[in-house]
């Protein structure tokens, strides 16, 4: 291979836009390491995430339906892989760094506890006195503290660009005066994030890279598509029900007009395929428009902007909100789903209370250092253990400690 091409292959230096992040000019890692001879810095982040324990556990963590519901529903892992696929497609079309977009997609849900948002709400209640539980902050803990694989540091020692994208993929966490924004306006930015940012400044008041922004939109696209697919499979609603929503109705109508004799299962797959394609193409077109207006000459100019550059057009943004408004009562708040999730949340609260009162019930490696720890540190440590559990392990622990456990179906 020609030397120039070899350099491009190793450093991820294929043609990219001036506003894309360049792995050859990364701000680096908290713990300095020699560069890889065969991988760019962001490709190395992807590989470390894929090989992490937290990533493997996503296979047995709930997305919407717990594992007892069936083998064909999405888990956190399959959701993550779908987000990564969409993120790479967006990054490729926009001449961004595909590896960075993929790394952010692969790691974005590492902090989720068992049983999805029900588990998160349960841990948040358990930790109310010590700042609550936030899955974004827990993701940061997972990749900077809880993964213990290397001889000289804890965590995965990911690049600055990956870390800032993980915690800011939905935008700045504070204004320039340090006041919390968005979801943190009513509850302060988690101590985990603030403490880490004091060690390695993640610029909490600025937007993240375009790669982080497209990874966040990829999450929205994957949610819309696969939650409709899973909801239909679970018979929580029908194809005619979702067709009452403007954009899905238009797509379904077009599919039925083109293939009038097509069986319903194929109509569903063609509808989902077309929906994903439409959403991706809209994000590409709108992001190109926003970038043309801003005309950033570097990734830092994107960070310093007053608004995000990646996202849906106004019309498709409205359609996205309409889909989510349909899914909330028909799926996420469906009585069948809520019954199972309430039982799961109760199991998580039981585990937290039991370990708090009887730390000797924790595995030996998780009992280390608890004896002299103050109450907030003890609570956070127990939450770290529970958050890392898979659904199955949480239920097995509940059965071991309480003699019985809910069936969750």
33-55 average pLDDT score:
96
The Cα-based distances of 190 to 33, 122, 132, 174 in angstroms read 29, 17, 8, 12
What does the alpha-carbon distance between residue 63 and residue 85 come to, in Å, rounded to a whole number? Answer: 17
- Is the same domain home to 169 and 75? yes
Based on the structure, what is the number of domains in the chain? 3
On whether residue 7 sits in a domain, the answer given is: no
pLDDT band at 332 (very low <50, low <70, confident <90, very high): confident
- Is the same domain home to 113 and 244? no
Task: Write down the pLDDT at residue 196.
Answer: 97
Give the residue ranges of DSSP H helices in 200-313: 210-233, 239-242, 246-258, 264-294, 299-303
Taking CA 362 as the corner, what is the angle to CA 360 and CA 368, rounded to the nearest 5 degrees? 80
- Is the same domain home to 147 and 243? no
Q: Which two tokens stand for residue 71?
A: 């083998």
- Beta-bridge partner residues of 29: 159
The answer to whether residues 322 and 247 touch, using CB atoms and an 8 Å cutoff, is yes
> What is the average pLDDT value for the chain, to the nearest integer?
92
Task: Write down the pLDDT at residue 73.
Answer: 73
- Is the same domain home to 44 and 94? yes
Nearest in space to 83 (alpha carbons), one of 168, 192, 142, 166 = 166
- Is the same domain home to 47 and 193? yes
- Is the same domain home to 174 and 50? yes
Q: Which two tokens stand for residue 356?
A: 């708090």
Question: Where do we find the tokens 């020609």?
Answer: 2
The answer to whether residues 116 and 61 touch, using CB atoms and an 8 Å cutoff, is yes
Encode pLDDT of 159-190 as tens digits. Answer: 999 999 999 989 999 999 999 999 899 889 99
- Domain with 113, as residue range(s), is 38-199
The answer to whether residues 205 and 175 touch, using CB atoms and an 8 Å cutoff, is yes
387-401 average pLDDT score:
94
> Phi-psi category of 134—alpha, beta or left, where left has phi over 0 and alpha has psi -120 to 50?
beta
Q: Is the pLDDT of residue 12 over 60?
A: no
Q: Is the pLDDT of residue 405 over 80?
A: no
On whether residue 308 sits in a domain, the answer given is: yes
Domain end (from 301, 334, 367): 334
On whether residue 74 sits in a domain, the answer given is: yes
pLDDT band at 9 (very low <50, low <70, confident <90, very high): very low
Nearest in space to 144 (alpha carbons), one of 190, 175, 79, 213 = 190
DSSP code for 406: -
Percent of the chain at pLDDT above 90? 82
The pTM assigned to this predicted structure is 0.93
What does the alpha-carbon distance between residue 91 and residue 72 come to, in Å, rounded to a whole number? Answer: 28
Domain end (from 299, 319, 334): 334
Domain end (from 334, 352, 371): 334
> Phi-psi category of 270—alpha, beta or left, where left has phi over 0 and alpha has psi -120 to 50?
alpha
**Helix axes of 314-327 and 210-233: crossing angle, nearest 10 degrees:** 40
pLDDT band at 71 (very low <50, low <70, confident <90, very high): low
- Is the same domain home to 113 and 137? yes
**First-last CA distance in the chain:** 57
Encode pLDDT of 223-240 as tens digits. Answer: 999 999 999 988 899 999
């Amino acid at each position: 291979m020609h030397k120039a091409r070899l350099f491009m292959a190793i450093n991820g230096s294929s043609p990219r836009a001036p506003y894309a992040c360049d792995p050859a000019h990364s701000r680096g890692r908290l713990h300095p390491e020699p560069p890889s001879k065969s991988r760019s810095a962001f490709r190395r982040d992807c590989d470390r995430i894929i090989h992490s324990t937290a990533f493997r556990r996503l296979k047995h963590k709930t997305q919407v339906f717990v594992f007892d519901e069936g083998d064909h529903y999405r888990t956190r892992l399959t959701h993550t892989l779908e987000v990564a696929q969409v993120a790479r497609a967006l990054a490729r079309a926009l001449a961004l760094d595909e590896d960075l977009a993929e790394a952010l997609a692969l790691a974005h849900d590492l902090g989720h506890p068992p049983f999805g948002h029900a588990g998160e709400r349960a841990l948040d209640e358990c930790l109310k006195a010590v700042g609550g539980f936030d899955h974004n902050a827990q993701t940061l803990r997972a990749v900077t503290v809880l993964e213990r694989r290397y001889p000289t540091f804890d965590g995965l020692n990911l690049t600055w660009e990956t870390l800032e994208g993980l915690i800011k993929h939905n935008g700045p966490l504070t204004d320039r005066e340090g006041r919390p924004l968005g979801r943190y306006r009513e509850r302060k930015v988690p101590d985990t994030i603030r403490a880490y940012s004091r060690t390695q400044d993640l610029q909490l008041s600025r937007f993240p890279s375009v790669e982080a922004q497209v990874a966040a939109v990829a999450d929205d696209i994957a949610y819309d598509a696969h939650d409709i697919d899973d909801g239909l499979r679970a018979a929580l609603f029908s194809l005619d029900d979702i067709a009452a929503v403007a954009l899905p109705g238009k797509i379904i109508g077009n599919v039925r007009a083109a293939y009038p004799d097509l069986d319903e299962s194929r109509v569903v797959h063609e509808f989902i395929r077309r929906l994903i394609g439409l959403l991706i193409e809209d994000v590409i077109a709108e992001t190109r428009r926003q970038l043309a207006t801003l005309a950033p000459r570097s990734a830092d100019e994107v960070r310093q902007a007053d608004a995000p550059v990646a996202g849906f057009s106004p019309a498709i943004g409205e359609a996205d909100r309409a889909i989510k408004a349909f899914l909330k009562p028909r799926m996420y708040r469906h009585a069948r789903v809520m019954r199972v999730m309430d039982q799961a949340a109760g199991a998580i609260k039981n585990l937290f209370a039991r370990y708090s009162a009887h730390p000797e019930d924790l595995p030996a490696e998780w009992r280390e250092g608890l004896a002299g720890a103050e109450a907030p540190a003890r609570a956070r440590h127990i939450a770290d253990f529970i958050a890392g559990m898979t659904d199955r392990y949480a239920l097995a622990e509940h059965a071991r400690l309480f003699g019985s456990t809910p069936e969750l179906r």
